[in-house]
Structure 1
């Protein structure tokens, strides 16, 4: 038999009904039963979920004995990511099988742009700082989930040239300012993590120079001034101050690889001549494709 709320018109019979055995105090087991009964298909699920959170905040001491159980139950309606950023057109939001999310497996909404595809986002009504502290939930995203999300996002955008908002990338770069391990992993994996807005491309940080006289597209780019305050992040992921001999050697290697390892054709005499211009024939390489 399920528990139901007392209809308001019966409130005058409150004392009598208590004497008759009516439940007037929510026990930990009552709470767990109700939380587990919620379904995403219920049109009133958000209201019910909010009531559960409110009760947990006000009666936390009564629920401490089942805290770990509460944290793992999926009874929260997930946070709706900001549609104005058009992020789901690039990468779908993470969804659980039940359609609801748990406290323990979700992160604070302030991290939405660094994990929306890999982790559940706590709804605002459950992101109360006091409650998270009581539950010993940090609300911060796991490093591996952030790395996976950034890698997936940059991979999709580099292939499909999606119109990701610059504000989204700024949020990601801002987060990376304090995440040296993730930066090291992005560098090691050579993820195309640097967004070049003026060319609408994503490239590896090793292809970006802070100071560059001439760009060699699509192999060498000048650092985008739009993200100037994140140059330290880019450098941590492989960006250099300026191009050197090794840089241009790598460009030639990429050109060679993009031309299916055909022999590079040089214009000019085979012998060295100061008056002869040596140019690499790269006309077969698409101007906006990274190989």
Structure 2
């Protein structure tokens, strides 16, 4: 690949800096509204630093309840739903991906493209059939119902990403384990899965993030206050707080903090999982 000259390097740095400004500016605006106790303006106003720095708003978020449910309960519900959907999507996706990567069976190619085609349909378009199915099963207002729905949404990406990772694992490694007496299950768990760890981490993180931040389907299905998640609680805070932008900013920061912390801790592995595999059909 031809290397960029000095002007090309400068242009690339300028473009990256411009993109960085557009990405960071909204987060910075959110931060100064959350830490500035004196800010009472509209969110279109931009300031570099808070006038009255304070953590008071974060205490208000912890003390104030959304629909009578405290923030800690909302966080627990969200972690249960997001974590459960990530684990279930990982378990189902890994087995499906390995079958698509290593086995040959009729309809394999059609099944892959059907799986991908299903992911192109917006989940909100399926709200009516999902509503009816969950109602019949008695899961509509439960956290288990949300876990099932979010698992189905996360499966296509997980299967495609893990399939590429499993294809990159040399068959010779699995054959050597089989010659040493390892069965299929032991080879899969002890050999194949560890070698595909970056892709597994990426699939789990994407599934977790989807369940953590999803709002529309949860709002349609859940009408029990004790099963409300953080995203739904933020909407309740908006409707109840009116123009209290400071409170909403502090709530949003506290909601984003766990996901951002996990991403920062795992960013190298996530990037490796995204770029390490190859896609062969």
TM-score (norm: length of structure 1): 0.21
- Who wins on radius of gyration, i.e. which is larger? 1
TM-score (norm: length of structure 2): 0.21
Structure number having the greater helix percentage: 2
Higher relative contact order (CA 8 A, sep 6+): 2
